[in-house]
Amino acid sequence: MKFEHPFKSEAKKEKPKLADLDVRGREIFGLESRPERFSRLVPGRDLEILVKAGDISSESDLDEAFVFVNPSAGEESLPVEPPHWRTVTKRGINATRETPSGKDFFYATNTKGVGYLKPTVKGGRSLDEYGDWNRVDEYEREGGYGIADAEEFYQGKSDVIRLSRKFADEGMRVEMYYSVGKLKSVYYRGKQESIDSLRRKKIIPSSRHLTPEIAIRLFKTNARVAEAADSDDPRAKELMREGFDVFNRETKDKGLGFPELRVGEPGHEKIFFKEFFRRMGRNLAAFQNTGYIGWHVHSSNITLAAEIADIGSYMHHSYYEEYEDADTYVKKYSGVRRGTLKDMRDFAYNLREFIGAAEHLGMSHGEMQELVDVYLQSFHKALDPKKIAVEGLDVNQLFSVAEKITTAVLIDGKHLSSLKQKKADIQDWNLGL
């Protein structure tokens, strides 16, 4: 019998694994934002630029947002903000893009695929103390903690840069992708190491399972509704203030005519939430005008500036029609596709969650019926009958269904199952759809 020293056995048990930090669902409450060290990734040396937008103007070099976590040797300190475990934000930029309705403005870069950031705020260990970054997700797919895969940025012959512009030019407030690059080298335990070397050492999966890429996108703010709802009170208040600051900056840049809003002024708070609802109504209409189904438009993907984030998985309805279980996404009820019903439900839930966060913080949002009316009017006004007809839909049917769902959630307080599960039945909603 082979004898193993007891201390050696104990050391094996104590070897940390990133999977030990996993929980089901998002994890925000009780976790504080903390600074972490990052190092620049240089295009050409550390990454190959695959696609880059040519329609963004900025006073600063946006490529400086290409960074990767490097806890023991990084030169730049940036905040890690729960639950953003693989993206990092740089505030204070000023970037613009021309759209059919005028110039749009962005005040922050957010880089996706910068390495795993959860150890910075949880577990008491640096990322450098963990051996490998291999991950198996809930669908049994292999990947890497903190690493973005190529499939997140491409849809057939299109990419997220084109898709973000398609949505924006339809009037959606949306993340604006700037650049996507294929990683050649990153930082591991304080040293620069090639992707090929990390694969050979089994730090990350093989190329068959993971093609590491990194992307820079622009936002007005990357703070999300889920953060405002789930953070402890001090952080939630700070996030709300950021939402108001960005609102004021956009108002000034675009000449929107709103007064300078201040948190704590009931009249100002009502203006903020009313405009948020109006903007979200237009966002929902943009999905219909383009024929896209979001399916994942939850509160972690809505910013406090009413922007839609994480669009890489959003697909045109025709994509789902090739599925074996196509009815899960495109079967029509009262003339509206099931995936769109889910989006309408999710939008209403996001709005309810945001209002709940406001109420918890003692903020004034006005009468809910007025907010719902503003939201639905904005949605209806932004629907383009010709574009809707091309997508095989009818404006009146869309509005009628949206009104029923929104009223059920926001006025009547009903629970509607998310429809994510195939076994969920529309009839369970009891809305006569």
State pLDDT tens for residues 157-193: 679 999 999 999 999 999 999 999 999 999 999 999 9
Strands (E), 302-427: 315-316, 332-333, 336-337
Last residue of a domain, one of 219, 242, 274: 219
Of the two residues 419 and 204, the one the predictor is more confident about is 204
Say if 205 falls within a structural domain: yes
Residues 145 and 284 in one domain: no
User: How much of the chain exceeds pLDDT 70, in percent?
Assistant: 96
Same domain, 56 and 185: yes
* Burial state string for 270-286 with b = 16 or more CB within 10 A and e = fewer than 16: bbbbbbbbbbbbbbbbb
- CB burial of residue 397 (10 Å; 0-12, 13-18, 19+): middle
Given a contact cutoff of 8 angstroms between Cβ atoms, the answer to whether 186 and 115 are in contact is: yes
Neighbours of 182 (CB within 10 A): 14
- Same domain flag for 313 and 251: yes
The answer to whether residue 39 sits within a structural domain is yes
Is the pLDDT reported for residue 424 higher than 80?
Answer: no
Do 89 and 171 share a structural domain?
yes
Q: Is residue 9 scored above 50 in pLDDT?
A: no
Tokens of 392: 């095989």
Residues 237-292: tens digit of each pLDDT? 999 999 999 999 999 999 999 999 999 999 999 999 999 999 999 999 999 999 99
CA 122 to chain centre: 21
SS3 content of the chain, % helix, strand, coil (to 5): 40, 20, 35
Q: Are residues 156 and 251 in the same domain?
A: no
Q: Are 130 and 243 within one domain?
A: no
Q: Is residue 179 part of a domain?
A: yes
**Mean pLDDT of the region 90-96:** 97
Q: Does 418 share its domain with 378?
A: yes
Cβ 47 vs Cβ 182: under 8 Å: yes
Domain interval for residue 391 = 225-429
Residue that terminates a domain, selected from 190, 219, 248: 219
Look at residue 406 and tell me if it is in a domain.
yes
Do 203 and 270 belong together in one domain? no
Do 163 and 52 lie in one domain? The reply is yes
Q: Examine the domain organization and report whether 251 and 390 are in the same domain.
A: yes
Asked if residue 159 belongs to a domain, the reply is yes
* Residue 385 placed within a domain: yes
Considering 175, 204, 219, which residue would you say is the last residue of a domain? 219
The pLDDT assigned to 5 comes to 42
Regarding whether 199 and 262 lie in a shared domain, the answer is no
Q: Check whether residue 214 and residue 260 sit in a common domain.
A: no
Q: Where are the strands (E) in 102-203, listed by range?
A: 102-112, 134-136, 142-144, 148-149, 154-155, 158-159, 176-183, 185-188, 191-194
Based on the structure, what is the number of domains in the chain?
A: 2
